[in-house]
Every structure is written in C-alpha cells, then in structure tokens.
Structure 1
C-alpha cells in the first residue's frame, strides 16, 4: 500500500489583470495556497485554493501546523476517509472559510494524485457526463464599468461564441441598474443570456423591489441577492419572483446547501470547490442538487471547475474569469464559446513551476521521519 511521504506547501499572490469591483468590495488580490503531495510510489498530486486578498497566511498556518502533518503515513487513495479525519481534527474551527480553503488545497491534491495514478482526467474519473460546457463571462461586467464598456464587452464575447454575460448590480438606485441592464440587452438581443450578481448587498425588501425590473430584462438569474445566512429571506424572495435565485459561493458545508434546497430557497447552486472544502464535498453538493432537479453553475476557479461540471449531469454553465494565466503553460481550451476539459490525467492544469517559484511568498515542507 502506498503512503504519503512528503507534503510541500507554497503560497503565491496573483494580482487580477483588470479592476474588479462589485457592490460590497474590490477584488485586488488572489492569494493562492498550493499543496503538493508525494507518495511512496513516487506519484505526485498538486492542489490549490484561493482567497481574495485576506486570510492566506492563516490558511497556510493551518496547513503547516495541523493538516499537512496529519497526512504523513496515510494512504492517499482513501480520499473521503482522509477528508473526514481532517475535518474532525479541525472541528473547533469548522464550518468556516479558513478551514474549508485549507481542506480544499489538500483534497484537490489527493484527487490529482489519484487520477494520475489511474491514468484518467478528473472529468472522466468523477463521472464523465460531457466533454464541453458553455461559458459565460463575468470579467467585463463589474459594477464600476460604464454602460458603453459593459455593452462593448458583451458584444465582443458574443462575437467569440460565448453564450452569456454577468453584470454586477447593486447601484445606489434601481434606475441605475435598470439602465445598465437595458443597454446590454438592447445590444445583444433576446437570445444571449444576461445574469446578475448583487453580492449579498440587498435587504429583502430591496431585492423584492428590484426583481420585477430583472424580469422585464429577461435576466437568467439573480445571484447572491441577500446575506448568505438569510435562508428564510431567500425563501420569501424566491416565492415572489420568476427570476431564478442563485446562491452558493459563500456557503461552506453540505448541510447549508441541504437547507436551501429543502426549503426551495434557490434554483441555481453555485458551489465553489475551494470554499466547500474540495472536490470530495463539491461532488456531494452537486449530486444533492441533482436529487432536487437543481442546476449547478459554480463560482470562480474556472480551470478547476471545468472538469467538475463536465463530470456531472446537472451542470449548465462555467464562469469565465481568467486568473491562472501567469502561472500555467497551456491555457484552458475554448471553442465557439465552449470550454473543453483536458484529457491529461489529473486536474488537467499545466502548472508553470518556474513562474510559481518566482511568485512564492511562503513555503514549507513536511516529511516523514527518517
């Protein structure tokens, strides 16, 4: 039986290529923790997660002092058992973002290692439902952008074959959001999807007030309209509008998704593989959503989510926000607005280790005793 002999930890910081502003924050940094797991057969698995500029050192400390040492000597093929054991070790700090992000970096490395040893790409190993997925873009829809810039980006992406765009909302007055959405809709026509994201900025009353305006513009979904812990508010909102309600990027456990699905509080699940704690719980959320006939359209991390949405039957979209171009070789393959998963065994991400080493901020190595 192979066992884990060494765990390498590293963190880099990726600065977004464009300014990213939504209704509550500006995304100025992407701290990216890496975990590299070696086993006694000589196999290697690489995983990662992310923050948007705060908490990275805390994630790394949890990995260095608690989680990575607990991996040494363990069988890397027992992924679910390892995930559960690590969750128990950190039960005093779970459920929450720091623990989930640390677990995700480990769990994705274990899946990468497992798939490489099996000779399978992740999208096949996890289900293999489809070999491509439709893309929508968020990168040109940020809240600080003026109407013409929004229109120009949507038209450019439509010309490239993309099937939809996301526009951030949450302007001071409903009329401002209406004008922005109206300009984009007039430019792209009725067949091109427009999604909206309020980033948890609305009260229930304001969300209910703005929903009819979204209906008028044929909006594909209203994402994170309310604080993520306001389940009853989402229930009330979902019952008041025909616009699909999307949630998930700020949820950190299977049970949280269960509550939303049981109560009919959302009809789009945007589970984030980093914030849920890795591929292992991500797949459980996706299959739970399938049982409720609910679509999965994950948040961010397009390179990692690409094989996952191709693995399951109830995925519809992949969000296009480039973030790994400066530390990877071959970019994600896109044809006529569809992303196509890699056939390479593992996660299918072509890491540029020289570029990663040049950006390294923190590094540690944990090994078994001689």
Structure 2
C-alpha cells in the first residue's frame, strides 16, 4: 500500500448553541484526505487557525512529500514531515497542524487496512470512554448558562466544563461557576478552562476563590502555560491542573513534568502533530502515573486515544465542535448516559459526508 494522493480543504459549519441559539464557536476545520494506490481512503482533520494556510502547506509542501510512502509506517511518515516542517527541532502552530491532519489520515488508513479501530491499533484497552461536556461558553448569559447545565444533566451527563478568564472578568466568572454548581448539585463533576487566557496572579485568585466549589481540574490556566508559573500555581492550589490542548506534543509535556507542573495530560491529536505524537505523550503519561484525557474539540479522533490506553479517563464532548463533526462525517457516535462507544468500523469508524463537504467548503480568497 502506497500513498497516491493527499488533498486538504477548508470547511465552515453553520450551527447554533442550545438554549441561546447563538452561532457555535470553533466552526472552521481543515479536512485532509489521503488516497492509496490500492483504493483505500483515509481522513484526518485539524482546526481553525490560519485554515487556508494550513491547507496550502498540506497541498503544496507536506502532502507531495509523503506520496509513495506506506501510510501504515506512521513513524516513517512522521519523520519525513518533521524534517520538512522545521529544520530546527520543536515546532508549533500551522506546521504542526498540517502534520496533524496528514498523520490522522494515515492512522485511519492503517486501521482500515488491518480491519481494526485506531483505538485497537494503539492498545485496545476499551471500546468506549466516559465523557465530559464543554458547554460554559462566554456567549451564554448567567441564566442561559444555568439552563444549559440543567439540560445536560437531564440528558444523563454528570461531567461539565466552563470557560473562565473571559471578557466577563474574574468576579463574574466566579459567580457563573458558583451558579452552575448550585444548579447541578455536588454530585456533578465540574471543571474550568481558561484557554491560556490569564496571568499567574489572576489564575491564583480564581483558583483560591473556587477551591470550595469542588473543581475537578483547572485547564490551560496561564498565558503560554509557562512551566515555571504552572508549577508555582500548582503548589498554591488544591485544584488539579491540566494542559495540552494546543501545543501538547511530547517535549512540551516533558517540560511540564520536569517542573512538576501538571496533574492531567490533555493532548489533542488535531494540533500536536497527530496520533503518532499523542502515542508518545500517552507513554510519558503512563511512566509518570498521570491520567490521560483530551480537550480542544478533538472529538472522534481524541476519543480513540482515551479509550485505547489504560490510563485514559475522559473524552470531551464539545457543544460546538461536535456539531462540526456530525455535519462533516457519517456514523459519528453519540454519548449515552455520559459515555461514548467507539464506532465498530475500522480506522476512525466514520466517513466523509460528500454532500456536506461540498456545501461547507470555503475557497481561499
């Protein structure tokens, strides 16, 4: 089996959030499709940042470089991509995103060729994962936030996550979290996420103000997730810290571990270089006895790594990103009572919806 063609395209999905009816956040994706010389096709995806630039990197630089390689040799493909994407070692941003979607498509092909899911190729610890729901977006006012939280609990979810460090300000963020806690009760797991949006002093104030609210983890709490500042924050709060959504490659996690700065590993294969890189992160998490989760709208892709490894904990259900995947792909699994079962089909277990891809495609200006 050899790679014959690599194509990336940009797509925007129109959707609305429940209760508020406001447009979903994070609605742009780059979809990568790889065809082989024996007729198989695999899919990968990455996120919204500099989407047309990412697609151009795939189409004109990285994709042509892997034509002729066997997609099942994921380390060989990754080594070829890494050498082209950066000549000076560690990278992030658009080059890493472009690598990610190619790598994910290769894993899809490897699974299809073997007749196994990606989770089974990675280790096959489970065919399902418990999930948490990211719902607490800044666009919700406080009443909408509470109504949405109650709606999700009524649907069988017992794990929720809210965004903090937003334009509302710290005082309002604290009030929003407390209102949700009061509405859903102490039995529901509640996490917070600052999206690397605040500094150390503000993060410490926020953490101290919410320590009695039973917060499961504080995700991406600091600007750039500086390892030294994360370590200081971790020493001064009882709330576990998590990170890894946007730059969660193995060397970044090694840095956090070296500073004893992190409690929960949250890689996202759509951004960190792909499932090949996430597999390295998972091994590091296992060695250091850290739980493995995911964040950042990784959806069907990250579900596989959470299910695959023995230290996998929770996969994310994102009220915006999930609408994107359900639009672009077929057979996307739906959580039941707070748990999502992997599709039984090989690879990722989903296929492109051709009509949706045509309708959502966005051409470069």
Same fold per TM (> 0.5)? yes
Report the counterpart of residue 226 of structure 1 in structure 2: 222
Report the counterpart of residue 328 of structure 1 in structure 2: 329
Report the counterpart of residue 307 of structure 1 in structure 2: 304
CA distance in 2, matches of 1:62, 1:173: 38
Report the counterpart of residue 154 of structure 2 in structure 1: 159
Q: Which moved more, 1:146-155 or 1:235-244?
A: 146-155
- CA deviations on 1:49-87 (whole Å, 9 max, x unpaired) are 121xx4011111111221111112222221111101111
- CA deviations on 1:84-131 (whole Å, 9 max, x unpaired) are 111111114850210111111110111111110100111111111112
Among 73, 86, 93, which residue is 2:81 paired with?
Answer: 86
Report the counterpart of residue 367 of structure 1 in structure 2: none
TM-score (norm 1): 0.90
TM-score (norm 2): 0.91
Q: Secondary structure at the match of 2:35?
A: strand
| 2:144 is the counterpart of 1:143 | no
Report the counterpart of residue 368 of structure 1 in structure 2: none
CA distance in 2, matches of 1:118, 1:193: 38
Does the 8 Å CA contact 1:136/1:162 hold for their aligned counterparts? yes
* Unmatched segments (≥5 aa) in structure 1: 20-25, 364-370
Does the 8 Å CA contact 2:7/2:59 hold for their aligned counterparts? no
Shift of 1:227: 1.3
CA distance in 2, matches of 1:263, 1:16: 41
How many positions carry a matched residue from both structures? 354
CA distance in 2, matches of 1:217, 1:157: 19
Does the 8 Å CA contact 1:228/1:247 hold for their aligned counterparts? no
Shift of 1:30: 3.1
Report the counterpart of residue 239 of structure 1 in structure 2: 235
* Unmatched segments (≥5 aa) in structure 2: none
Does the 8 Å CA contact 1:123/1:310 hold for their aligned counterparts? yes
Does the 8 Å CA contact 1:97/1:252 hold for their aligned counterparts? no
Shift of 1:173: 4.7
CA distance in 2, matches of 1:206, 1:31: 30
Change (3 A) 1:190 1:315: same
Q: Secondary structure at the match of 1:69?
A: helix
| 2:273 is the counterpart of 1:277 | yes
Q: Which moved more, 1:238-247 or 1:220-229?
A: 220-229
Report the counterpart of residue 316 of structure 1 in structure 2: 313
Change (3 A) 1:70 1:164: same
Among 42, 46, 49, which residue is 1:49 paired with?
Answer: 46
Change (3 A) 1:65 1:174: closer
CA distance in 1, matches of 2:328, 2:306: 23
Change (3 A) 1:361 1:144: closer
